Structure 1
Amino acid sequence: MSSDKNFVEFIVDQIENAGEISFRKMFGEYGVYSGGKLFGLICDNKLFIKPTVSGRTFIGDIIEAPPYPGAKTSFLIEDKIEDREWLSELVRITVKELPDPKPKKRKK
């Protein structure tokens, strides 16, 4: 089941002061970005955040699950998606710890 675009837009609208937040459709689901860094996925109308040490400490009681079969586990965010301040802080913490995206190689 693919995610509902309204759910994706709701999640993006919840996040503030965490850089320019955008999303991109990927394989029927969505990748969520801050300043070009992929920090999360939305699959089956569920929010998954890339795991980081600081994010783990911030969340505390973590639920980890793969966003799709065969994927690495991520932090599954369920109960706090309507808590704008908490979710925004988690995104800021996560993005700060993630490496910058690698430059794309030019085609020859």
Structure 2
Amino acid sequence: MAGRQEMRSEQLTIKHMATKQEFVDFVIDQIDKAGEITARKMFGEYGIYADGKFFGVICDNKLFIKPTNAGREFVGNVVEAPPYEGAKPSFLIEDKLEEREWLSELVRITVKELPMPKPKKKKK
């Protein structure tokens, strides 16, 4: 058809690398002094919890922690990035993953400021 313009949408291709279990185990080991740490597989990545409170995600072999005022004060200059497309920015922890005490303290500070999870409603 002459005169008709073709409309094309461009799609941005984002390559995702699935998180390896070894990395999840490493992170959990690094922060084990921050409470009872658990990781739950969610959409191919992992949600991480301390004493039942959701505080971060492990996505593409990177650790993201929910931003809090106390956490920001503790960390100082911090890189913030969304763990996945459409997510709110979180603290991206890369440089200090080897520092167990520092990392555990950041998790403790963060979890202390986060609200308790809402109780799940019983199914009828």
TM-score, normalising length from structure 1?
A: 0.98
Deviation at 1:16, TM superposition (A): 3.1
Identity of aligned residues (%): 72
Secondary structure in 1 aligned to 2:25?
helix
CA distance in 1, matches of 2:66, 2:103: 13
Aligned counterparts, 1:1-108, within 5 A: 1-108=17-124
- Which structure exhibits the higher relative contact order, with contacts defined as CA atoms closer than 8 Å and separated by 6 or more residues? 1
CA distance in 1, matches of 2:99, 2:48: 18
- 1:35-88 per-residue CA deviation (whole Å, 9 max, x = no partner) reads 110111000000000000000000001100000000011000000001001000
Deviation at 1:2, TM superposition (A): 1.1
> What is the root-mean-square deviation in Å for CA atoms of aligned residues?
0.6
Secondary structure in 2 aligned to 1:12?
helix
**Unpaired runs of at least 5, structure 1:** none
**Unpaired runs of at least 5, structure 2:** 1-16
Equivalenced residues, count: 108
- 1:10-48 per-residue CA deviation (whole Å, 9 max, x = no partner) reads 000001331100101000000110011011100000000
TM-score, normalising length from structure 2?
A: 0.85
CA distance in 1, matches of 2:63, 2:33: 19
State the 4+ residue runs in structure 1 displaced beyond 6 angstroms: none
Secondary structure in 2 aligned to 1:17?
helix
CA distance in 2, matches of 1:73, 1:85: 24
